[in-house]
């Protein structure tokens, strides 16, 4: 469960202030499938970063799964990210010198899981995301769709409660993008909360709840 109360995030550029989030209130229940849409610069990514504990709001309150996470220390925020949040990015963000399998393994390593268990979990993920024959390939040798599948496998290997995707199909062509969305929706069906930021109306419409943003404020929220 995600509960944002009066969240404000202000960026200062010289003496200019940008209110990227301006008093945002938002409740998202566990297992929801939400799309966030809005013009460029409306604060979608900032909202996602705050929800994912990558960014700190300047004011307001954030409650995640019943506990207040607004004022957690940096180390605690890292732990919550590791345990509860999965990120999927437009530009995949794979480590170029690691193979597909090694990229998927990273969160398990950070979590300190033993190598034997890591291997079986990575193998299972490679299977589930149809990447078996690409396990030993580096990102440069993978297609865009394959890269995003590796990124999704990595984001979900620790079974997060919420999956945050910021324009996950932005770098993919329409057909591959639809495949990736289907994959994410599969994870949603398995119980994960799914929040997708997108510019694509068609893809956005597939969500069960549609949030519209403008100038750092939520201007529409319909199911």
Ligand X SMILES: Nc1ncnc2c1ncn2[C@@H]1O[C@H](COP(=O)(O)OP(=O)(O)OP(=O)(O)O)[C@@H](O)[C@H]1O
Residue ranges in contact with other proteins by CB under 8 A: 49, 52, 54-55, 74-75, 78-83, 85, 87, 89, 93, 95, 97-98, 106-107, 109-112, 154
At residue 185, the 3 state secondary structure works out as: helix
Distance, CA of 174 to CA of 200 (rounded, Å) = 10
**What region does 134 belong to: left with phi over 0, alpha with psi -120 to 50, or beta?**
alpha
Among 1, 18, 54, 80, binds ligand X (CB under 6 A): 18
Picked from Mg ion, other proteins, ligand X, none, the partner binding residue 107 (CB below 5 to 8 A depending on kind) is other proteins
Q: Are 168 and 8 contacting, i.e. CB atoms less than 8 angstroms apart?
A: no
Min dist. Cβ of residue 81 to other proteins (A): 4
Q: Tell me: does residue 45 bind Mg ion (CB under 5 A).
A: yes
Chain length of the chain: 223
Stretch that binds ligand X, among 13-21, 62-70, 129-137, 169-177 (CB under 6 A): 13-21
Q: How far apart are CA 138 and CA 185, in angstroms?
A: 26
Q: How far is the CB of 97 from other proteins (least distance, A)?
A: 4
Cα separations (Å) of 70 from 52, 102, 162, 164, 192?
12, 33, 17, 18, 22
**Which C-beta is closer to ligand X: that of 157 or that of 203?**
203
Q: Which two tokens stand for residue 169?
A: 């199909």
Contact flag: residue 99 with Mg ion (CB under 5 A): no
CB of 210 to Mg ion, least distance (A): 17
């Amino acid at each position: 469960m995600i509960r944002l109360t009066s969240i404000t995030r202000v960026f200062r550029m010289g003496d200019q202030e940008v209110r990227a989030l301006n008093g945002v209130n938002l409740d998202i229940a566990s297992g929801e499938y939400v799309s966030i849409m809005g013009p460029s610069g409306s604060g979608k990514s900032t909202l996602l970063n705050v929800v994912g504990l990558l960014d700190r709001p300047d004011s307001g309150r954030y409650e995640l799964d019943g506990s207040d996470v607004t004022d957690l220390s940096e180390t605690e925020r890292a732990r919550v990210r590791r345990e509860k949040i999965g990120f999927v990015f437009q530009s995949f963000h794979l480590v170029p010198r690691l193979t597909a399998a090694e990229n998927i393994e990273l969160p398990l390593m950070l979590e300190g899981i033993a190598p034997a268990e890591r291997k079986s979990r990575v193998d299972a993920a490679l299977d589930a995301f149809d990447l078996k024959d690409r396990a030993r390939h580096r990102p440069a040798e993978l297609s865009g769709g394959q890269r995003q599948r590796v990124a999704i496998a990595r984001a979900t290997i620790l079974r997060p409660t919420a999956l945050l995707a910021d324009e996950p199909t932005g770098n993919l062509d329409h057909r591959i993008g639809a495949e990736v969305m289907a994959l994410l929706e599969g994870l949603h069906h398995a119980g994960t909360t799914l929040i997708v930021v997108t510019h694509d109306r068609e893809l956005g419409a597939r969500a069960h709840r549609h949030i519209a943003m403008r100038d750092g404020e939520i201007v529409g929220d319909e199911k």
